[in-house]
Chain A
Amino acid sequence: MRIREFSILLLLMLGANSIMAQKGLLDILEEEQEEGPQYAMATFKATRITFGHSIETRKKGILEVSAVNRFWNTPSLTSQSFGADKLNTRIALEYGISDRLSTGFGGSTWDGLFDGYLKYRLVRQRNDKEGSPVSVTLFQNGSYYSEGLSVPNVDDNFSSRLSTTTQLLIARKFNSSFSLQMAPTLVHKGFRFSGEDPTNHLALGFGGRYKLGGHVSFVSEYYAVFNPVESYDTYGPFSIGVNWELGDVMLQFMLTNASHIVEDAYIAGTRYNFNFKNPNLNFGFNATYVIHFNRKLKGLEQKRKSQD
């Protein structure tokens, strides 16, 4: 009796042992894998979707040199009709202070705006089931209008020439190719051309990207302004475009109705609707060159040699 019980136990033990032995080596590694938090990488490829900021910031020690251009025709008969009667260019330097905080300064040629911004990545989306389902970035910019004013009844001093834009950028990377962004925005205008114009504008921005291939994505953006300028007609800025990443260079091509490049100017002051009539259609071209000042693994090769 005892023997039978014992042999059953023995068989069970042996069975359990052989099941454990059958477990493949890769299965053991699967169990051993300690995965840290997996944050969504590259919700958008660049710090801009087209004209507007994306939730992306650059990592610490990265300097971006960018030339952002908008070309469009004037409606006059003397137009060259080549899409480049007028040109607005913003030359800017943008730098990653830390992995989450970045800043940038730039100047635009056509509208005479000098601007600077701070951007902070508050929340990062996590791909595992825990953590936040969205990424959130805070954005604050200020711009200075440097052109001469010929408008009477405007209090012209330094502070009245300043405008600011505050944005809460909220984005989600739904899968490896599709991302969407929403951007509640508050624009404060330094001066108004008419007393009936609001000082503060509320707007909501929408942006999205669809990855067409490893390096190319299709992007589009739109800002709806809830209380637009009263004294002249404005339209919500819209764009469709393509982002093309080439190693250290990021190229963004777009069709848009926004001639301005600085946030407060294009959100509250886009005077043309989006269609193919001059001067409404703008061709936009952003070129950004990325320089890494903070190089990790600099001594990797030497370290490897000394290890052997």
Chain B
Amino acid sequence: MIRATLLFSCILVLGHQLKAQKVIARQGHVAFFSYTPVENIKAENNQVLGIVDLETGEIAVSMLMNAFIFEKALMREHFNESYVESDIYPKATFEGMVLDFDADLSQDQTRIIKGNFSMHGVTQEIEIKAKIGHRDENYIISGTFDAVVKDYEIKIPPLLAGNIAKTVSVDFRFECLPYED
């Protein structure tokens, strides 16, 4: 009886641990681009955190807004001070699901990621097409999506409307390694 309980408990505990398997990217890359005839603005952040639950396909991303580096030093100040107000809203986060995610598939898979993206205090439901590669225990998730600046209540003064695109293209790439608690 004791032996049976022991075995049963071992299976249960192990099963739980397998179920909780996650992969994490600590130096995820997110870049955004705004193209207008007046000015092209590029910025990148190489310290974005991303985590995927391999069992459920749940995914979460978190980035510090003031970690974005711009081509021009003053743009970073303006971005944080005048546009995204990173004093008040320091982070942008994404929480969602990879639809039809197959963690065991060894070749690249293109999947839709659906979820809520929060920035500047506004949460929007978005769908992103992403490429997911699987090398050994690592997963590489990359893709592009467009964000409409107006949707996040980021105010652009009329005089500067020509300098900043209405839709900003966002690139991301996460190299996820196995995560241990």
Q: List residues of chain B with CB within 8 A of the CB of A175.
A: 87
Q: Beyond A2-B2, A10-B9, is A29–B81 a contact (Cβ under 8 Å)?
A: no
A246 contact set on B, CB distance < 8 A: 157, 159-160
CB–CB A297/B87 < 8 A: no
Of the candidates B43, B83, B93, the one whose C-beta lies within 8 Å of that of A26 is B93
With a 10 A CB-CB cut-off, give which of B50, B53, B157 has the most chain A CB atoms: B157
Could you tell me if B12 and A301 are in contact, using CB atoms closer than 8 angstroms?
Answer: no
| Chain B residue at minimum C-beta to C-beta distance from A292 | B72
Give the residue of A30, A45, A62, A214 whose beta carbon is less than 8 angstroms from that of B62.
A30
Which residues of chain B (23-50) have a CB below 8 Å from chain A?
Answer: 24, 26, 31, 33, 39, 42-44, 47, 49-50
User: A297 CA to B76 CA in the complex, in Å?
Assistant: 12
**Chain A nearest CB: distance from B64 CB in Å?**
7
A247 within 8 A of B: yes
Q: Which residues of A have CB within 8 Å of B9?
A: 6, 10, 13
Tell whether A129 is near chain B: CB-to-CB under 8 Å: no
Complex interface: chain A residues within 8 A of B22 (CB): 25, 28
* B49 CB contacts on chain A under 8 angstroms: 29, 32-33
Residues of B within 8 A of A77 (CB): none
The complex places the Cα of A176 from the Cα of B88 at a distance, in Å, of: 8
Provided the pairs A33-B62, A59-B73, A176-B87 are in contact, do residues A25 and B80 lie with their beta carbons within 8 angstroms?
Answer: no
Kindly state the interface size class of chain A when it binds its partner.
35 or more
Contact with A along B147-176 (1 / 0, CB 8 A): 000000001010110010000000101000
Q: Interface with B: A35-43, A108-116, A229-237, A254-262, which one? A: A35-43
Given that A25-B95, A214-B83, A214-B155 are known contacts, is A247 also in contact with B60, CB under 8 Å in the complex? no
Cα–Cα, bound, A62→B47 (Å): 26
In this assembly, does B82 line the interface, its C-beta being within 8 Å of a C-beta of chain A?
yes
Question: Counting CB contacts under 8 A, is A151 at the interface?
Answer: no
- Segment among A14-22, A139-147, A162-170 that sits at the interface with chain B: A14-22
The answer to whether B74 touches A176 (Cβ under 8 A) is: no
Asked whether B127 is an interface residue with its Cβ less than 8 Å from the other chain, the reply is no
What is the CA–CA distance of A17 and B11 in the complex, to the nearest angstrom?
Answer: 13
Tell whether, in the assembled complex, residue B44 and residue A214 are in contact, meaning their CB atoms are under 8 Å apart: no
A62 touches B53 (CB 8 A): no
List B contacts of A308 (CB < 8 A): 142
Q: Which 5 A-B pairs have the closest CB atoms?
A: A25-B60, A59-B73, A176-B87, A214-B82, A29-B62
Beyond A17-B17, A34-B47, A296-B69, 11 additional contacts (C-beta under 8 Å) are A6-B9, A29-B60, A33-B62, A41-B81, A42-B81, A62-B73, A176-B81, A247-B39, A247-B78, A295-B72, A297-B70
- Report which A residues bind B (CB closer than 8 A): 2-3, 6-7, 10, 13-14, 17-18, 20-21, 24-26, 28-30, 32-35, 38, 41-42, 45, 58-62, 127, 175-176, 213-215, 245-248, 290, 292, 294-298, 300-301, 304, 307-308
